[in-house]
Amino acid sequence: MKERFFSGAQPTGSLHIGNYFGAIKNWVQLQDKYECIFGIVDYHAITVSYDPKEMKNRILDCAISYLASGIDPEKSTLMLQSLVPEHTELAWILNTVTPLAWLERMPTFKEKASQHSQNINAGLLDYPALMAADIFLYKSVVVPVGEDQLPHLELTREIARKFNKTFGYTFPEPKEIVGKGARILGLDGVNKMSKSLNNCIYLNDSPEVIWKKLSTAVTDTNRKRRRDPGNPEICNLFSMHKLVSKKEEIEMIKKGCQTAEIGCLDCKKILAENMSRKLEPIREKQNMLWENLQDVEDIIREGSNRARIIARQTLREVKKKIGLDL
Ligand code: ATP
Ligand code: MG
């Protein structure tokens, strides 16, 4: 039997290259090795303000991006969190073993609270307890995530330890899997690329849009003039080259930047071309899937039913352990 894991993304907007290179690309590669459950975590997404009329489309957009990136519903389970109520039920139970101070020290909470100062709700603080429930319901042994999620995963392990110690061994402590694109900065060159920050290259951006965005993206800010040598190691665009360009091209750009033989605009042109080429098959598949929405909805519903069978079993075991066993 294969080991299992759960990982997911929030339907807070269209998925971007940070989501792809940080998480989804790894998911695709792990499908043969593990039994994978990929969630669209909509209960997480409602912890920030949103328009209810848009949510269904965002959920479909997220599912379509998973499928277009190579998630295969024959191999893996694609599910919607809110269709499996065991997620919120287990989250409540985990709340009772999670000290408030553990939640308050999370950098992501502090970040989101400052971004959403008008809406610092309890759900925002409690996010990691729900995330731990997502992971535990499927007894995940690993979780492929981007670097920003590492504190959450550490907290998840602490919650597992505390629960196991109090009620007897129940949950494995999941290890992280982080890939080459674990932290992609946004086009501003400062913040993490985030759906909610409008600093993204989206998986469905056309070559024209990609060029428009890259042409104004922030590079090595110390390189003021074309003839100044640059430092590729601190340039966000060079880190993107590492994800989409060929080895020889990366070397050429590195040297060219360090010696000022090539300027930022030349570098951006090559990047825009390579990025567009890399994303083209995903964008095409997305367009095709938008024409077949019924199939996409069926995949989500069927996957959620499948996930629920496992989730129900785990929750039954948990309730028994904590004495809620009538
Ligand atoms: P939001 O701004 O709403 O939090 P997000 O862009 O951070 O959205 P999530 O749905 O929170 O995306 O994260 C989904 C997955 O993508 C997680 O594994 C996360 O670590 C990863 N991820 C998100 N942003 C990046 C990034 N800039 N670089 C690498 N990985 C990322
Ligand atoms: Mg996020």
Cβ of 178 closer than 6 Å to ligand 1, yes or no, is no
d(CA 206, CA 213): 11
Cβ of 286 closer than 6 Å to ligand 1, yes or no, is no
- For the record, the structure tokens of 82 come out as 């809110």
CA 18 / ligand 1 centre spacing (Å): 6
Residue indicated by tokens 């000290």: 99
Span 52-108, pLDDT tens digits: 999 999 999 999 999 999 999 999 999 999 999 999 999 999 999 999 999 999 999
Tally of residues, the chain:
326
Residues of 45-75 as b/e, b for ≥16 C-beta within 10 angstroms?
bbbbebeeeebeebbbbbbbbbbbbebebee
> Model pTM greater than 0.75?
yes
**What mean pLDDT do residues 301-310 have?**
98
Span 175-221, pLDDT tens digits: 999 988 899 999 999 999 999 888 999 999 999 999 999 999 999 88
pLDDT the model gives residue 179 = 85
**What mean pLDDT do residues 160-183 have?**
96
Per the CB < 8 A criterion, the answer to whether 172 and 140 are in contact is: yes
**Which of 5, 148, 193 to mutate for ligand 1's pocket (most ligand atoms within 8 Å of CB)?**
148
Would strands 142-144 and 77-80 be described as parallel, antiparallel, or unpaired?
unpaired
Active-site positions? 112, 192, 195
- Which residue lies with its CA nearest to atom 20 of ligand 1? 146
CA 306 / ligand 1 centre spacing (Å): 25
Residue 226 gets which letter from DSSP?
A: T
pLDDT the model gives residue 180 = 86
CA 99 / ligand 1 centre spacing (Å): 25
**What mean pLDDT do residues 299-324 have?**
98
Cβ of 144 closer than 6 Å to ligand 1, yes or no, is no
Cβ of 244 closer than 6 Å to ligand 1, yes or no, is no
Span 93-151, pLDDT tens digits: 999 999 999 999 999 999 999 989 999 999 999 999 999 999 999 999 999 999 999 99
112 contact partners, CB below 8 Å, separation of at least 6: 47, 48, 124, 127
Pick from 268, 167, 163: nearest CA to 211: 268
Span 232-274, pLDDT tens digits: 999 999 999 999 999 999 999 999 999 999 999 999 999 999 9
pLDDT the model gives residue 223 = 87
Span 263-295, pLDDT tens digits: 999 999 999 999 999 999 999 999 999 999 999
**What mean pLDDT do residues 157-165 have?**
98
